[in-house]
Amino acid sequence: MRFQNTLEFAKKLDASDALAPYRNEFHYPQVNGKDVIYFTGNSLGLQPKRTQKFVDEVMKDWRELAVEGHFYAEKPWWDYHERLANGLGKVVGAKPKEVSVMNTLTVNLHLLMVSFYRPNEKRYKIICEEKAFPSDQYMLQSQTRFHGFDPKEALVEVKKRDGEHTWRTEDIIAKINEVGDELALVLMGGVNYYNGQVLDMEAITKAGKKVGAYVGWDLAHAVGNVKLNLHDWGADFAAWCSYKYMNSGPGNASGIYVHESYLDRDDIPRFEGWWGTKKETRFLMQSEFDPIETADAWQLSNPPILSIAPYLASLELFDEVGMDALIEKQKTIVSYLEFVLQEIDKEVDSTFEIITPAARGCQLSVLLHGEGKSIFDYLMKNGVITDWREPNVIRLAPAPLYCSYEDMYHFGQILKKGIQTT
């Protein structure tokens, strides 16, 4: 397709977009009396309009049934989280029994490492990417210290080559092979938060497993964004937040994946709690833990229903649309955004560089050479909600459920004016 940086062309793309009606399913903030152009779905997704109904249902049941809502609500609370399993399985490429919803992302990664980071004197090292998201760095450092190791020795960071903005798969695999039988765990971000690169999760998982290590993924920026096949790839575990591309609301509940080969086994260590026991025996108040045969066995306490309700609302949208249709639009709208950026760059003779590679999801990270944060401030004041990362990167994430091609065109015009006037 030959793109054109014109309003007419953008409107034609919107007219032929099968997902265009879903734009009306969301609430938009306003700036200067107009709906914003929203590029921060990689940080917090917009609120689906149907979310209110799902939350109101819970509030009504709580008001009218009180404790009896656990069993007699229209969607009983005691198994409310199970309603998310089928939808989440489709989104992450897993069997429903391999996924669960609980806690928040870093909490879940810590809990999963109880099961999948079991170092000994020889095999104790963890491979992660250079400059992983800070929460992952803190989590990994504290885990290695907890087990009595020096993070400087136990953590092995895969670096980008000098002068390059992205990781090469061959370098990651080479590092896995180099660490070899000292490697206990590979734990990386499936989509890098800073440059938007989608790592070759299938190849990296295969390489890690080949040397005898466990392989897990932080999918915070991947779930609802890129095609995932966790079960078929053979990943051991994964965790993700739900408030970015999944639009479940600020700080909302996290999802986990545990490969079926670890389910219903009594030789897998984990921290255990009441809600991980079988439903049939949970209320017998037994002193011995009786694990559910699914990933729910990793749950500790009864789930926060008021948090999960918005997640279920969003998953309903994802189920209606399907990941294949989302990714098809994602590829086109991100390519069009890239084209618009390149055209504006020519028109204003500026110097900015897209550092996101072709292996990408919704995000383009734009490195501003010679431009300061004034461009970001100008965009925000003029109705473009985007994200600034030090020292000089603007992240743009046109989520396909609620961003339009016309948004991409208007963004380009606002950006051009901002460069010319700041």
CATH C-level class of 7-35+322-421 = alpha beta
pLDDT value, residue 266: 82
* Token pair of 242 as six digits: 């739900």
pLDDT in the model for residue 380: 96
Q: What is the pLDDT of residues 209-237, one digit of tens each?
A: 999 999 999 999 999 999 999 999 999 99
**pLDDT for residue 1:** 84
Phi and psi at residue 147, in whole multiples of 5°? -90, 5
CATH 3.30.70.270 fits 52-321, yes or no: no
Q: Mean pLDDT of successive 10-residue segments in the chain (422 residues)?
A: 96 98 97 96 97 98 98 96 97 98 97 98 97 94 98 97 96 98 98 97 98 98 98 98 97 97 92 94 90 96 95 97 97 98 88 92 89 86 93 94 98 93 82
pLDDT (0 to 100) of residue 371: 65
Residue 421's pLDDT is what?
87
Amino acid 351: pLDDT:
72
Domain edges within the chain: 7-35+322-421, 52-321
| pLDDT single digits (tens) 296-328 | 999 999 999 999 999 999 999 999 999 999 999
